[in-house]
Structures are given as C-alpha cells and as structure tokens.
Chains A and B, each alone.
Chain A
C-alpha cells in the first residue's frame, strides 16, 4: 500500500513532463509542428526499440559505460588522495596548490583536441578527458572537506593513542566524506558532459558517436532516440548516486 502511494505521488510529480510529451505528439500529428523539426515522441520510441533490437544500442552504451567507469573511478581515487593529502601534508599542499589554482579556471573541454593528438580516437582519449576533467572538482572538495575536520576529533583520537594511519582512515576520511561525495556528484555530471562531447567529436564508437553519426546521415528518429538514452542515463546515474550518498552518509545529518 505504501509503495503504491509512493508510486502514485511520483507519477503525479512527473505529470508536467507527460503533458509536454503529449502536447508535442499532438502538435506533430496534427501538423502544427512541421515534420522537419524532428520526429514525434512516438516515432522516437519506435526508433529506440529498433535500435535496441539491432543490438547497436547495447554495444555503444557498453563502450560508453566502460570509458565513463574507467575515467571516473580513477579520478575519484586519485583526486581524493591528492585532496586529502593537500589538507594533511604540508609539502603536498605546497606542490599541488599552485597547479590546482592555475588549472581550476581552465575550461576542461579545451583539452579534447589535445587528447585527440595524444591518444587518437580510441578509448584512451575519452578516459583521459573524463579523468582530467573530474580531477579538480574532486581534489578541491576533498581538500576543503579534510581541512574542515574538527581538530578536537583528531586530538582526542591521538590522545587515546591512535596511529596516524588509523586517524586518516577512521577520523579524517569519514568526517570529510560529505564534502568529498558532493564534489564527486558534481564531477559525475561533468564526466557525462565530457564523455558525450568527446564521443561526438573524436570517436568511432559510443553513444555520442551514435548521435553524431545518425544526425549526419539524416536519421533523426534514431538520433532523438540516442539523445533520449544519453540524457536518461545521466539523470538515472545522478539519482542512483544521490541515494547511495544518503545511504553512505546515514551517520551524518546530510540531506542534499
């Protein structure tokens, strides 16, 4: 019963989206909206099911997922390590801080042409784009989080004889986790942007390539279907991550 009520509320919440889709469908069917502006929602869904049955969708999505996963995970691990290191160790801060300050304002998408020269059109250029693009947001949020740890927590642990390694794993990281995860969430949305951009521009596979390829060959229903898949993946990934954050941080008063 509770689940039904929740489903009903969710359904009601998203009614405006449904209304927009219906209005679009209606305008396309009655001819108010000329057909060269693109396919109707129904045609898009038909193209989507064809794309799925052909196996193209799963192949390109699999490639995109692998690139996203590899670049994003590497960035999370290294970014957290550098950020926490900058907050806890003086020489790490001295070394990395100016580099971070200089690179922070640079639009990361400007690296795509360079990565094309360095790594060609294969997996590596996209993984590197995601890795480099996500690194700085994660570093800065991990730095801010680890720097903001209440020193009393660390002093109490130390006075009880906790080793430095244990302080790092048991005090600093859990206390900095809310900040780190907020940074990671920002990086997650940035990573999809960079992945799709890189695949649109310099690729022969992946969902971004599917969009540019079908667009160039004038198959607009398939192009709309691919775009629908890409934006839905970004949305669903964010929702899953948000629930994950809430579960991981259930020991704090995190609500975001």
Chain B
C-alpha cells in the first residue's frame, strides 16, 4: 500500500483504515508465522523439527475432513467440561458450606490450604489404579485440579457479602434458605466467576496431560502417539487444534460471564 493510499483511507476511515489497524495489531503474529514458514523453506531448518506451516495446515485440513481431529477434540472438550462442571457444583457447595458452617470450616479449611498448592497431577497414578484408564479417572483428575480455586473464591465471595443486604432481607422476613439463594449467591457471583475463570484453563491443561498419560483418545493421546512415532507434522496439528480449542472455549467463557453479570456494576461500567 502506497503512503498516498494509506493517507486517503485514513481520512475516509473506511475498510482500508480498518485493515491497516488490523495489520498493525497482528503484524508480529504474521511475522512469526511467515518466519516459521520461510525458515523451513529457505532457511534450512530441519522440517522434522519444525514442519512448515503450510504442511501443518494442509494436514490439519485433511484430518478435519476425515473427522479424526474433530472427534479427538470433542473427546477432550467433553472431559474438560465434565470435570470443570463437577468441580463447579461441588466447589460452590463446599465453599458455601465452609463459609456458613463452622464445623465445615474447621474440617475443610486445612484440607483446602494444603491441597491448593499441591501438584495434584501426581495423584493421576492413584486414580488410574482406582478408576481404570477410562474417562472416569480423567474427569476425577480434572475436577480435583479445578475445585480448589472454586472453593476458595466462593468462600471469600460469600463471607464478604455486604451485611446490609443480608440484614435488609432478614428484616423483611426472608428465610435463611432464601437469603442464601436470592441474596448471598447472586451477590458473590462475580467472585465465584473469577474463581471459575482461574480454574477454567487448568481444566484443559490437565485433560491434555491425563490423555497423554493413559490413552483412550483425545487430543493429548493423539499428540503423544504422534510424538512416539516421530510424526512431527501430526504433533503440530495437535498443538494448533488445542490452541484453537483453548481460544474458543475462553472466548465463550468470557461471553457467559458478561451475560451472567449483566445486572452487575462490573458490566455496566464497560458499556
């Protein structure tokens, strides 16, 4: 694009301007991708260590058409989501109980403070021993990883609910049970969702690792098998796919959060 044309589109603020802004924003990504392709084609990098981008994308297209990669991706997403949902339900329940009942607090607080920083993936060997190498051990592992941020966020959120909200509701004769569902949980929703947001990426990280450890399909075992057979293009196809899956899931999660918190000051500021 000549400078005159660029200047014109600047003034008209048309599609050219948008395109230029987009190019500027993603210039470094484009440069990285171009360097990737060229370093193999021209620069003499071993295509086994770094298969050219074009080769990876064409293999990805083949694998998508054959249905293999979409199937593996769905398996991975299913395991990650099942574990994440279980962790959400259990974590919120334990968090609320811990905040509202002192026996539960006495029991759970040390477990949470010890369990939170542990590298829980080490327990995978035990879960395989208990639940076999199928879906169950993987989903349990994912839930165990995700549950700690959820519990601690729920605990902090529900204990820091504005007391005036609770007192007003109680004053108007609301039962304790209703206060929990209609006041405490909605008021602590932003914190709970922040906890879920921290837990969410680890659900995918851990799902991929569990699939590598005990096969049974999924993108993790797809990649580790490819690596063991030294099929480096397939490894890259797996990485690209998992990156796309991660990006899509995180975007969806962000939308869900905004949708759930439409009533909250947090989203109203953004408008």
Contact = CB atoms under 8 A, between A and B. Distances in A.
Interface of A: 13-17, 20, 37-38, 94-99, 102-103, 105-114, 116-118, 189, 192-193, 195-197, 200-201, 208, 211-212, 215, 220, 223-224, 226-227, 230-232, 234-235, 237-239
B208 A208 contact: no
7 contacts: A37-B129, A99-B29, A105-B249, A107-B207, A109-B212, A110-B223, A113-B238
Contacts of B126: 38, 223-224, 227
B114 A105 contact: no
B117 to A, nearest CB: 3
Looking at chain A's contact residues, the main secondary structure is helix
A18 to B, nearest CB: 10
Contacts of B235: 113-114, 117
Interface in B236-265: 236, 238-239, 242-243, 246-247, 249-250
B26 interface: yes
A113 B227 contact: yes
Interface string B227-239: 1001010011011
Contacts of A231: 118-120, 122-123
Interface in B193-242: 201-202, 204-209, 212-213, 219-220, 223-224, 226-227, 230, 232, 235-236, 238-239, 242
Contacts of A195: 119
B124 interface: yes
A98 B117 contact: no
B117 A37 contact: no
Interface of B: 24-29, 32, 48-49, 106-111, 114, 116-126, 128-130, 201-202, 204-209, 212-213, 219-220, 223-224, 226-227, 230, 232, 235-236, 238-239, 242-243, 246-247, 249-250
A231 B201 CA distance: 21
A201 B107 CA distance: 35
Contacts of B111: 16-17, 20
A227 B212 contact: no
Nearest to B49: A118
Contact of A17 (B110, B119, B249): B110
Contacts of A37: 129-130
Contacts of B29: 98-99, 102
B117 A227 contact: no
B224 A112 contact: yes
Given A98-B26, A197-B121, 13 more contacts: A20-B111, A107-B201, A107-B207, A107-B246, A110-B243, A114-B236, A192-B119, A193-B120, A212-B125, A220-B129, A226-B122, A227-B126, A231-B119
Contact of B122 (A107, A109, A114, A211): A211
Contacts of B107: 16
B242 A110 contact: yes
A239 B149 CA distance: 17
A105 B205 CA distance: 10
Nearest to A110: B242
B119 A193 contact: yes
A117 B123 contact: no
A110 B117 contact: no
Contacts of A106: 239, 242-243, 246-247
Given A114-B227, A196-B121, A234-B117, A109 B49 contact: no
B204 A196 contact: no
B232 A117 contact: yes
Contact of B129 (A105, A197, A215, A238): A215
A113 B226 contact: yes
A107 B238 contact: no
A94 B30 CA distance: 13
Contacts of B28: 94-99
